[in-house]
Structure 1
């Protein structure tokens, strides 16, 4: 009976600690920041199981997609969800990464997988470029104008 009450006492103390941590917001903080691990762990697990020769090469497609998305979501957790206005082409890039991994590690894959990965990668890169140009375009234009002005001043210095 004494051993039983000892176990119950430890269980009650553990329950009290969990309740206090919950009340202090510890679990809310941890879950709100580290929730992308729900995507990252299976993505990395797919890669691990493939390289251990446990699962077939096809698991690299969802593994690459999940890993890419998890990294994007971690970035947004750190730098704010307004970053998603720049990162949205990453959703296209995730599929391209998964397909490219399939092509890279499957000796029998046809050329269509590589072409699909490259097309999606190029579309993603173009979308990233256009997004950055639209959001940061005024700064790029201002930089070009300043560089052009400096070049004109340096080149025509002896005319003044």
Structure 2
């Protein structure tokens, strides 16, 4: 990494801190508490990826499993810390081993049997993300505007009922 990219990363991080502070001052403890995934977890995952791509490739593809798991976990934790939405981000922890195994599959020996747990974990994670996201959206629609949601459902039912059938 050159000096410009380190400076740019620092300036971006400082700008995000100032945006999140909203007039309050952030002390160093609060900044570490807010950005601990970026400071500790994501650099460790980058180390594992660097280790594979610059030192061990193509033989040591096993280091990509913890690298992928830590990268996904770090991103999920960082988003949850910044947005304060841990209750919606937890399916990302199910996705983390799928990402690590997929990296191992992609850069490793390409054992086709690895695709089974990768697909199961990915589908399970996406299913939980969809259920919790759509459930929250539906609750917000129903909580603030029950009449709007009811009208949309009645309109959708009427469209389905009175639409012409297409001959296939």
The structure number with the bigger radius of gyration is 1
TM-score, normalising length: structure 1: 0.68
1:86 counterpart residue number: 88
The residue that corresponds to 2:17 in the other structure is: none
Give the paired residue count: 129
Q: What's the counterpart of residue 97 of structure 2?
A: 95
* Unaligned stretches of 5+ residues in structure 2: 1-24, 163-168
Residues 105, 143 of structure 1: alpha-carbon distance in 2 compared, 3 angstrom cutoff:
farther
Give the C-alpha shift of residue 135 in structure 1: 2.0
Structure 1 runs of 4+ off > 6 angstroms? none
In 2: Cα distance, 1:25 partner to 1:152 partner? 54
Q: How does 1:52-131 map to 2 (within 5 A)?
A: 52-54=54-56, 56-80=60-84, 83-106=85-108, 108-131=109-132
SS at match of 1:41: helix
Tell me, yes or no, if structure 1 residue 146 matches structure 2 residue 152: yes
**Aligned CA-pair RMSD:** 2.9
User: Which secondary structure does the structure 2 equivalent of 1:53 belong to?
Assistant: helix
Question: What is the alpha-carbon distance in structure 1 between the residues aligned to residue 90 and residue 157 of structure 2?
Answer: 37
Q: TM-score normalized by structure 2?
A: 0.65
